[in-house]
Amino acid sequence: MSSNIVMVGGSLLSFVDGFSFQERQDIMNSLALAQYSADKHLESDALLVDWFDLFSESLMAVGWEVDEDMRSEWPDTGVFYSLEEAVLDGLKYVNQASLRAALQHSIEMLKLDKVSQDIFESRNRNGSMAHYQFVPCEHRKALGSYMFVSGMKVKSRVNLDNIFINGKKIKTDDALDVQTACSGFYLKTENYNPYRDVVLQKMSEIGDDFFKNLKQ
């Protein structure tokens, strides 16, 4: 049985019901490849906007289209007292209740899964610096698969074991400096079909441990 919440590298991917198994696999694989490619070509201290541009280019190279109405006008930086607070603040850019609910549910499930929390932190954080992505998806009939990507680059002023969950300690000691970027992407299966085999070949560089289903 497929999970509605999957950790894909450093991204927390969540699905609204309505996807076929193949559509889920296509989303997971293209998301993984885009993230892997951007990580491979940029240093960890690169600006989020530069990373996000490479990530978006990789998605478009395999058939995804950018939702021009969803390109964010987020400020370059913000100050928050937990990563969850920063993620939920970004929901103001999402009109669809289904996507908001999927993202919020994925956060709640992550908070209940200590093993996944530790993996999420270890994949995304190096000392006081971290890079996270939260990716709810829904199926939109004739428009195909829709993916909202909320990316965050975080610097903590205190060294915590778990930036995501330790909001109370952050409020006591200091805050998080957050760079943000978000965008929406559409994918029709017929647009992805010519690239599926190429993506699968490149996935051999990544490995199955790039994916982890969350407990639900």
Dist. CA 131–CA 125, nearest whole Å: 7
pLDDT at 69: 75
Q: Longest Cα pair distance anywhere in the chain, in angstroms?
A: 53
**What is the signed CA dihedral for 84, 85, 87, 90, rounded to 10 degrees?**
170
Does residue 211 lie within any of the structural domains?
no
Q: 192-203, pLDDT tens digit by residue?
A: 999 999 999 998
On whether residue 150 sits in a domain, the answer given is: yes
8 A C-beta contact, residue 64 and residue 187: yes
| Total of domains in the chain | 1
For residue 210, being part of any structural domain is answered with no
- CATH number of the domain enclosing 127: 3.40.198
Predicted pLDDT of residue 1: 35
pLDDT, position 189: 94
Instruction: Specify if 216 maps to a domain.
Output: no
Question: Could you read off the pLDDT of 112-142 as tens digits, one per residue?
Answer: 888 888 888 888 877 777 888 999 999 998 8
Whether 72 is covered by a domain: the verdict is yes
**Within-domain flag for 209:** no
* Residue 125: both structure tokens together: 């954080």
Does residue 212 fall inside a structural domain?
Answer: no
Domain that holds residue 129: 5-204
